[in-house]
Structure 1
Amino acid sequence: MAARRSVIGPIVLMLVVFVALLAFQCTEATRVLPEDFARANNLASYSPSVLSEQARQSMSWWLQRLESGPSPKGPGH
């Protein structure tokens, strides 16, 4: 039992050091976004009715692609 505790201690210590190093790691930005990136003219805004209509059309298209009829018989079905 003592041997197990002597192994767990260094492993936990290395894990804590690893997490601490990852938490303090800083990165540079790869590209700079324009200042007006979040303005209303750059973001498309849709009303909920438009979004629900798009979702309805997508679902109907997906359902049309499904095969009709009974599912195949056999192992795993």
Structure 2
Amino acid sequence: MNLSDDARSILVFAAYHELTSGEPVKEVVLDDGAGHKASGKGQEELIEAGLIRINSDRAHITEDGEQVLVEILNAIRQATGD
């Protein structure tokens, strides 16, 4: 899988929320109304890759997406000494 940084940023946003909450993240807001908006290009890539499904203003992370998110979190932890 070869994703753009636009797509990666959405997954990293989910990883951020998982790291700060300590809880698994199953969905993320795509437009918070305060100027933070997920890239449309990134959304399309993740949909095509089967990693998210869009439901209104949220991206639901699929089972495959959850696996990628785990890999991202593991990479962050490994890179920072955990």
Same fold (TM over 0.5): no
Compare relative contact order (CA 8 Å, sep 6+) and give the higher one, 1 or 2.
Answer: 2
The TM-score with structure 2 as length reference comes to 0.28
Q: TM-score, normalised by structure 1?
A: 0.30
Give 1 or 2: higher strand fraction. 2
Greater C-alpha Rg: 1
